[in-house]
Structure 1
Amino acid sequence: MRIRPVGTNALLLDCDGPDQVEAWRAELWRRRAAGELTAVEIVPAARTVLLDGVPDQARAATLVAGWTPRPADAAAPVDEVEVPVGYDGADLPAVAGHWGVDVPEVVARLTGTEFRVAFCGFAPGFAYLTGLPAEWAVPRLPTPRPRVPAGSVALAGPYAGIYPGASPGGWLLVGRTDLTLFDVRADPPARLTPGTRVRLAAG
């Protein structure tokens, strides 16, 4: 892991991969809750963690450099959410073709996987879910759909995701859920936050 300054009040942690990102995300959230770290935002991404709003950049860098996070699998989950999914997506046959299995096996693999929210992006409440083996990665559509319905459950690269609202999108659609994933009146507004464990249950 490498620590780099960003501007005058932020740090960027360059990590080796998603497991290290999650380990540092959990460690930094824990340290902040315990009062050992001051940061306005701690934002994980695919291979980085941003600490924004640190009052003393040099001191924060020294503190972080002296900490050793627990492995991602040993960190306590923030929450666990079961998402009921109707597996009737238009791209299920395409996913089955990429995986070399039939459609029922695709559904069995997805329902049997424990996913974890790695980070959020693209749209408010859109969570990038990790947990699929690297060999199950699938390509995006060559041309994105102009409108993907809210609640669509989809795959792209090594990630699964659920569209919280209708939007354009190029991910492969495998199903749909009626669960509300983003509500500005809720606290927090996003139902799926980094660290959350997720089950894409058939229902």
Structure 2
Amino acid sequence: MSRPSSSKSNDSAKSTDSYASVLSEDSYIATFKPVDDDFKNLLEHVKMVENGRKILKERKVQSHEVKKRDPKDTERRTDWTPQMEADYLSYKKSVEALTVAKKAQEASEKLAKNSKKLDITTQEVNRRKALDDDEKWLNAAIAAATARLGFMTKYPNALSTPSTKTHIKAAEDNLNSAKTAKREIEIQKKKIAEIKVIEAKKAAAAAGKK
């Protein structure tokens, strides 16, 4: 059995080291704030179906790879297979689902904010509805980002270089949307906790009058 040459082994080691260096210096993760620690931890459990990579690592790998592509590769692809077309439409549905989820969240958030002067029970109901829609928004945003990156994982040359860059940026925007959703979830939880404190005080006051 032939043994791999030392030069190939060294090349492989250099390639691995290069990736390790690139992935350890993720400029996107660097934009996270302390408030986003829970979101970052959440993404640690989100993996790509196509290759098992964590989503943040996959985003970084694709961002790294597209920088090595020919910037003159601007031709629109006309050789997509039926399966590629089907997978493209499938990921687009995930993006559309995010749009729907975000609109629902905006409506419930507005309702919750406008109920500040209403009775405490109504406030809690509206806040819980907003929380539920925030969570749906979060899940939809992560699903959209995963679907976008998954398409490029499966078909790395499906798009021109500029379109691939735009595609990766759109996936990053989806992740940013998810990050904002996670922040909103924490805000709603805090608001609900405050309502619970008010309810407890009112209950205690009522009991004291008996």
TM over 0.5: no
In the superposition, the TM-score normalised over structure 1's length comes to 0.24
Higher strand share: 1
Structure number with the higher helix fraction is: 2
| Greater relative CO, 1 or 2 (CA 8 Å, sep 6+) | 2
TM-score by length of 2: 0.23
